Structure 1
């Protein structure tokens, strides 16, 4: 298939979101592929008047200023103010309304910049957290160590204290001490980035209930880490149910961050300055526009409704937006350290056969699909080691990667693996040893253009090869249920992502979530994870290796264990990556100044990493986001 034809077809699919059968499969290994660079260049290399996120000029007074961006909130009556429950403040709102113990970035090197904290110290397995003086919630009440403890216990499985902390102790009104059972520096990644969102005045009863189980009903597992005993599991579950039933009005909650939610419609939400915030703010209000569909989002961006956003657009639309606004637009390319690809159902025929999974991996032309799925997408990991290339290449050498199977498109290899599985070609169709051509269901979220593009393209490439593949789009609200049902053979998902820590442990720890979704893995009722390697027949002690990776303290130690995980995933093809995501962060208002960043370049900067809202949050808290006169 010619690249221009594919590009137009995929762009058309994205514009209509659910159009079907617009792809023609690529018939040979010599098919011309659209490069990552060609699509990116068509968008970000548009020559613009402004070339830096930072704008020279005198800072404008905050009075009367309003920043418009994307916030994916749930409108009333379903929306509420509990951030631990669906419908409450999510990833797009949290950085605006909550402050963090530390602001974090792995770029250009791992940095924890104290925000709510005055200081932190980790020595001899003891982490000491000291809050700044005179911090206040948005109602004017003091933020104290009691609030910090409330947050630590409600988030105890997320921040890992449930598994690795021996005790949590209040030292004084501003200081909390966490005593761990190990010195692993990765512990800091999970606790120092905590946002303060559970005031003890509102969530204290839940925190106290969790704390009681933490102190009374834990025991050591086979790896000398903590787990809840049977009674503890029951009590924690009961507390979680009670917490999930606490649904305060979003407009009445106390927040620790720079802005407070004030008014909301089905289309937008307005945030005003927290009058008790710890530093002066340069923007008076923030208007969060709720995305409702691909078409409405594209229209809003084209109409200039946003001052700053990082929304996904089709390549053609993204290019038009840039070309039509050359005088005012600025475009930054931001790493997300996330992956998008296919979780392969290991329990449902025919993808239960490792040879079929590998054949499919060789059929799908990842290099052709990735760049046209969404501006900013680049080809994912061709070795299927379940790491984004930006993280993979930090820990795995080229020599090691060359020892693995490379799953770039290779139709001859695909034929070999199908024949190894006992299949044969009958006319234009591949059939299994029973003479059947089993259906292979590819599923993705119908509202997400990139999912549609990836799913449609892969299904059509497989059909063109002779497999009975079909793409079925699912509604976002029902996607989790479908993914965990085991009905699909290939579920588009984000396994192998390391968006929070940029550490291999985070990517491989995702097995607890994604393994129960598209992969449909069988998890033991008790004990650690042990999986059979379909290639070697040997057991891979997954949980033990996870612990080794968690405890690894030097780059060499991290690499050693990461290589073992990489070999396992390469052997088994449980996950077929298609993309690594970079996204285009667009500034539309020429008067809006943000931390310095050159346009049109992949960025490696403290401020410019993570989600759109994470970037805005860091910039707002630091005073680096403002309008000029």
Structure 2
């Protein structure tokens, strides 16, 4: 697994858009063989090349329409920030922004419902065109058509001068600042004609209801530039793109190009299985893939440093409440949380990069420390491994033993399939371990692996018993996003008319009384003060901890190998920037921007 971060789009938005584009000026670069036998950008001996890895689709399926929300664009995960700048990147621990395309003067007015996005002065695209507020304005018009989550809160926006776009919010929602600043901005000179088609519909407030919207989003998806313009320190060289690798060349006019220590980036294509031999052969300097435990240990023995920043999510056990009504009793789910040794699960699945989780709150333990006070953290049940407690809970829920076999409250043996995507080795390991643990305790769990896409479709339709999927949110530092993933993403609220896990979203709890979970999740992003936001996050944490609509099995920390003989400058693991999610505000990109990372 390389990047599980979902695109931040509202429900019902079609994510299968085909990419496309208009002609663009490309930065050319010849290629010459590197010292490792791979192709090295630029053709100049001695150039400093950062060797990375990320899965992408090569043309013709893959393309250079890099607009967020368009499928199959060759965005390259964290590397896109180095090509097309976002407004800023975020320090998750310090809760501060590292401004890039946006000037540091960008921010909310005193009422917290007006946000001014001010473009940094003096930036230009790689064809020499100045970067202006028009680029920001056009980008967000296109995102309105594609249904970006920011537009749940933004009621209107306008370009007010050459450097400023002003956004009006319906209510104070700090998460909107993150949405607005973390999006990569695309050039109006390429995307302006498409944005111009959206503009009258948006201005007339008829966009969502327009019969032309579907055709317009399709047209956006079918827009295919020959090459994307860049305003960051690197640019694509389209001539180098193959099924095996591609090259990013230095963009000499890009922001911080003089600060970044490398002359180019060589990107090897592939998921974990394909990339692993290259890493072991020391042909890759840094990778974000989830490597098997044995591979990680071998890399450490070879002298790689393994970076372990928190991913802010992990793997969880999902239930089909519609198909298996015996799971509706929360005591059953609580029992399973006690019956599974999560420390064993963490070790088997991720080794030193797995943690059993202390708080079981639905957001990462790191976030709990930031968003909940000490007294509220003390209210969260830890669900320690205790099969005596688990047995008491099942018996209280009307289950019984028939010899060694558990019989459900419906009078049937506790026999279930557990679904998981076979391509993702960590999911497969988690499913195997859960099945083994529960089978020795009197369940009969049958492992049912399948294609990643098909497994998710089946879960969406409710055609499963148990499943392994993710909990929490790797792509956003606000708890509201974690609870969207936990309560809504695979539930009927976002899948209708399909039912997904079919967990009822109005619940009676001991901790917080009756709660409308869907509305509570929506409201949790809204607040004028940090105290208000923390209060709402606390309510959801307490509700999740009691209800356990899914059972978090392991919290994942990254296991990113760094070839220390090739790269120097990574700070200690406890440095604030190293607490960022690698799939959202990747520390490597930030450390490249500020010149901290250098060739060894």
CA-to-aligned-CA distance 1:204-246 (integer Å, 9 cap, x gap): 344334443433236xxxxxxxxx76x25x5444432332233
Answer whether contact 1:346 1:520 (CA < 8 A) is retained: no
1:369–1:405 distance in 2 versus 1, CA, 3 Å: same
Answer whether contact 2:509 2:515 (CA < 8 A) is retained: no
TM-score (norm 2): 0.81
1:211–1:353 distance in 2 versus 1, CA, 3 Å: farther
CA-to-aligned-CA distance 1:120-144 (integer Å, 9 cap, x gap): 1321332222212332223332322
Measured in 2, the distance between the counterparts of 1:612 and 1:162 equals 20
Query: CA shift at 1:346, angstroms?
Result: 2.4
Answer whether contact 1:418 1:424 (CA < 8 A) is retained: yes
Aligned residue among 182, 185, 190 for 1:202: 190
Answer whether contact 2:422 2:428 (CA < 8 A) is retained: yes
TM-score (norm 1): 0.78
Answer whether contact 1:66 1:285 (CA < 8 A) is retained: yes
Tell me, yes or no, if structure 1 residue 246 matches structure 2 residue 234.
no
1:143–1:503 distance in 2 versus 1, CA, 3 Å: same
Tell me, yes or no, if structure 1 residue 265 matches structure 2 residue 251.
no
How do residues 459-470 of structure 1 correspond to structure 2 at under 5 angstroms?
459-470=435-446
Aligned residue among 444, 449, 452 for 1:473: 449
Gaps of 5+ in 1: 1-13, 15-60, 219-227
SS at match of 1:212: helix
In the alignment, which residue of structure 1 is the partner of 2:531?
Answer: 556
In the alignment, which residue of structure 2 is the partner of 1:87?
Answer: 72
Aligned residue among 265, 268, 280 for 1:286: 265
Tell me, yes or no, if structure 1 residue 175 matches structure 2 residue 147.
no
1:392–1:235 distance in 2 versus 1, CA, 3 Å: farther
Where does structure 1 differ by over 4 angstroms across 4 or more consecutive aligned residues? 157-161, 519-525, 534-539, 606-609
Q: Which moves more between the two structures, 283-292 or 151-160? A: 151-160
SS at match of 1:441: strand
Tell me, yes or no, if structure 1 residue 103 matches structure 2 residue 92.
no
Measured in 2, the distance between the counterparts of 1:339 and 1:495 equals 6
SS at match of 2:524: helix
Answer whether contact 1:73 1:93 (CA < 8 A) is retained: no
Gaps of 5+ in 2: 2-43
1:415–1:534 distance in 2 versus 1, CA, 3 Å: farther
SS at match of 2:576: coil
In the alignment, which residue of structure 1 is the partner of 2:517?
Answer: 542
SS at match of 2:558: strand
Tell me, yes or no, if structure 1 residue 585 matches structure 2 residue 560.
yes
Tell me, yes or no, if structure 1 residue 442 matches structure 2 residue 418.
yes
Answer whether contact 1:504 1:562 (CA < 8 A) is retained: yes
Query: CA shift at 1:444, angstroms?
Result: 2.1
In the alignment, which residue of structure 1 is the partner of 2:590?
Answer: 618
Q: Which moves more between the two structures, 138-147 or 262-271? A: 138-147
Answer whether contact 1:375 1:584 (CA < 8 A) is retained: no
SS at match of 2:182: coil
In the alignment, which residue of structure 1 is the partner of 2:31?
Answer: none
CA-to-aligned-CA distance 1:173-209 (integer Å, 9 cap, x gap): 222112223333332122122211x322332344334
Answer whether contact 1:495 1:514 (CA < 8 A) is retained: no
Answer whether contact 2:398 2:408 (CA < 8 A) is retained: yes
In the alignment, which residue of structure 2 is the partner of 1:334?
Answer: 309
Answer whether contact 1:103 1:113 (CA < 8 A) is retained: yes
1:579–1:271 distance in 2 versus 1, CA, 3 Å: same
How do residues 479-490 of structure 1 correspond to structure 2 at under 5 angstroms?
479-490=455-466
Structure number with higher relative contact order (C-alpha < 8 Å, ≥ 6 residues apart): 1
Measured in 1, the distance between the counterparts of 2:164 and 2:494 equals 44
Tell me, yes or no, if structure 1 residue 495 matches structure 2 residue 474.
no
Measured in 2, the distance between the counterparts of 1:276 and 1:421 equals 66
SS at match of 2:57: coil
SS at match of 2:294: helix
In the alignment, which residue of structure 2 is the partner of 1:416?
Answer: 392
